[in-house]
Structure 1
Amino acid sequence: MPNHELIKTPFGATSTAMEVISGIDLQGQTALVTGASSGIGIETARALAHAGANLTITVRNVEAGRRVAKDIIETTGNRNVHLEKLDLVDQSSIKSFVFSWTGPLHILVNNAGVMATPESRTPEGWELQFATNHFGHFALAYGLHGALASADGASIVSVSSAGHLRSPIVFDDIHFLHRPYDALLAYGQSKTATILFAVEAAKRWAEDGISANAVMPGAIRTTGVENLALSAERIAKLESSRTSGNEIVWKSPQQGAATSVLVATHPLLNGISGRYFEDCNEAGPAIPGIMSGIASYALDPVAATRLWELSMSELKLS
């Protein structure tokens, strides 16, 4: 668990992305946001564009992406907003995207993700949530390492979830080949992986000037949440367990994007790496029975190294 003083900022659970980026100038910086066709992805991208970044958003649905890009340009006045198709489940799509990237990359927000999907596997045999939320972003960040290193102070933000508290990485059966599939456990494991990626990237890429942190955006009513492949009873149970009270505390997409934007851009966090933030502040240890805070296994350096090496092997990277 954290053996340092937790970072506190002037912002909190109700802060918006525009509030945390107020006064920050990203002119001359490049930013990439995955999964920017809905929810917090849109508002993360909008805030970065508002601050002047040369922005690329990636989507699977190009038509939806075009509408989002047009809206961001119109609302921010920043015409340097670019749209690219990217499917994080398709390794050939990732390789093509990485190959076509030119120039430095200052901000990478690994925002795209799937949540509590029915049991499904990729052509490689990987469980879909782990493949999308972790393997896809791992391959993307690894492929863009040179661009991040050349930025001289790049920031990676991995969007995780309080769902990570549901499961560590079950290294003996990541893909649910030998245990009954559970959508929430699979989701939790994938979100633990996004934190462990940040922990290990912080260590391995520190000399390149790259910082990597993970964030919990909060409970946001987005398509991914509302379309959970779960029974009404399990959805109610999920929602009630996300807070210490009887009702879930929902955030707007603008509030949900705030922690990602803060960690990616704010001078208060310059040089901070390998940590986990929620409600615009560094999270403390998880409290049993309350879905907030950070699980000790999600910051375990041994697990982080093991996951990195496994990912390199599965993705056939060198």
Structure 2
Amino acid sequence: MTHDWSTADIPDQSGRVFLVTGANSGLGLETARALARRGARVVMTVRNTAAGEAAAEAIRAEVPGADLEVRRLDLADLDSVRAFAEGFDSPIDVLVNNAGIMAPPFSLSPQGHEIQFATNHLGHFALTGLLLDRLASPDPRVVTVSSLAHGHGRIFFDDPVGERRRSPVAYYSQSKLANLLFGLELDRRLRAASSPVTSLMAHPGFSSTGLLRSMNAQWRFIANLLVPFTTQSPAAGALPQLRAATAPDAEGGQYFGPDGKKERTGAPVPVRASAEAHDTATARRLWDVSEELTGVRFPLPATT
């Protein structure tokens, strides 16, 4: 008889180092908290270091002796991503690509990319490529966090900046589909290279997190009406990515999400991404575009 997977199932993580993006609130904070409780060293990357230090202190209050380091990283700004990678030379065991924004007012990144595509996808793509050689320990993993919204997404190769559409929800869905296309293509390339690194993915279902703060006023109003009736806590929403990051039986290419109705809430289990997420031609094209836009080339062979 099986039981629902919980943080009690996380093995002892003493001696292992996790880098969690967007770790000062929501899923990232809960991920950092759970890992610290199991003895991991957690590098918490944040845009606002004051907020990050406050989050770290909150964890230390619950987990005396928690081994935490707060580092500044703005994933929307590729210059910040490069500066972070150049200044971070420690080996890591697991990279958790968690940070994200959802349906904010239209804006562009410092490099001129639609802000959600820049933050949710391009920043994590670049970060992963720049840190790949630091993942050199037993059982190294990259965990990329997507969303149920990926199922409504498409990649706007003809309009990546949103000059014509400017739909915040459509571009959020695009970025979350990009997360899965990237994670699955990364898994294929790592396997082709016989790399020990594994690429896994997760989604939190419907979880009440700080993402609502980044939404434009119209969508935030609608979301706030629905949240009390449709969501689970951030701690529950973080379980799929925690399982992907720590479960001894998790395998490269797996995607974890809640086991409840329509994957909205529940215990974390392997789930199936949309057919679009498994489109290898789209994945290869997105990979090429992402390398061009970020200037980051992975030391991995292309898939066929």
- Alignment length, in residue pairs? 285
RMSD between superposed Cα atoms in Å: 2.1
Counterpart position of 1:283: 271
Name the SS of the counterpart of 1:33 in structure 2: strand
Distance 2:138 2:89 in 1: 15
For residues 222-276 of structure 1, the C-alpha deviation after alignment (integer angstroms, 9 at most, x for no partner) is: 2222552152698269959xxxxxx85311111011111011001121xx12232
Distance 1:232 1:62 in 2: 28
* Alpha carbons 2:94, 2:245 under 8 Å: kept: yes
Distance 1:154 1:238 in 2: 41
Name the SS of the counterpart of 1:267 in structure 2: coil
Distance 1:233 1:132 in 2: 19
Indicate whether 1:142 and 2:129 are aligned: yes
Name the SS of the counterpart of 1:172 in structure 2: coil
2:110 aligned partner, one-letter code: P
* Distance 1:45-1:232 versus aligned 2 partners, 3 A rule: closer
Counterpart position of 1:101: 88
Counterpart position of 1:298: 277
Distance 1:79 1:231 in 2: 40
Indicate whether 1:255 and 2:243 are aligned: no
Distance 1:283 1:238 in 2: 28
- Where in structure 1 do 4 or more consecutive aligned residues deviate above 4 Å? 236-240
* Alpha carbons 1:20, 1:258 under 8 Å: kept: no
Counterpart position of 2:188: 203
Distance 2:208 2:223 in 1: 14
Counterpart position of 2:12: 25
* Alpha carbons 1:58, 1:86 under 8 Å: kept: yes
Counterpart position of 2:39: 52
2:17 aligned partner, one-letter code: T
Structure 2 alignment gaps of length 5 or more: 259-267, 298-304
**TM alignment of 1:179-198, pairs within 5 A:** 179-198=164-183
Indicate whether 1:264 and 2:245 are aligned: yes
**TM alignment of 1:50-89, pairs within 5 A:** 50-89=37-76
Distance 2:159 2:19 in 1: 32
For residues 184-218 of structure 1, the C-alpha deviation after alignment (integer angstroms, 9 at most, x for no partner) is: 10000000001111111111123221111221112
Distance 1:239 1:115 in 2: 16
Distance 1:262 1:189 in 2: 25
For residues 70-106 of structure 1, the C-alpha deviation after alignment (integer angstroms, 9 at most, x for no partner) is: 1222312333210101111111211111112223211
Name the SS of the counterpart of 1:219 in structure 2: coil
Distance 1:94 1:188 in 2: 23
Distance 2:102 2:115 in 1: 10
| Sequence identity (%) | 36
Distance 1:59 1:236 in 2: 24
TM-score normalised over the length of structure 2: 0.87
* Alpha carbons 2:76, 2:110 under 8 Å: kept: no
TM-score normalised over the length of structure 1: 0.84
Indicate whether 1:228 and 2:228 are aligned: no
* Distance 1:151-1:120 versus aligned 2 partners, 3 A rule: same
Counterpart position of 2:300: none
* Distance 1:187-1:233 versus aligned 2 partners, 3 A rule: closer
Quote the offset at 1:26 in angstroms: 0.9
Quote the offset at 1:51 in angstroms: 1.1
* Alpha carbons 1:52, 1:78 under 8 Å: kept: no
Residue of 243, 252, 255 corresponding to 1:273: 252
* Alpha carbons 1:57, 1:84 under 8 Å: kept: yes
Quote the offset at 1:43 in angstroms: 0.7
Bigger relative contact order (CA 8 A; separation at least 6): 1
Distance 1:233 1:215 in 2: 24
1:101 aligned partner, one-letter code: F
* Alpha carbons 2:144, 2:180 under 8 Å: kept: yes
Distance 2:225 2:178 in 1: 20
Distance 2:213 2:66 in 1: 32
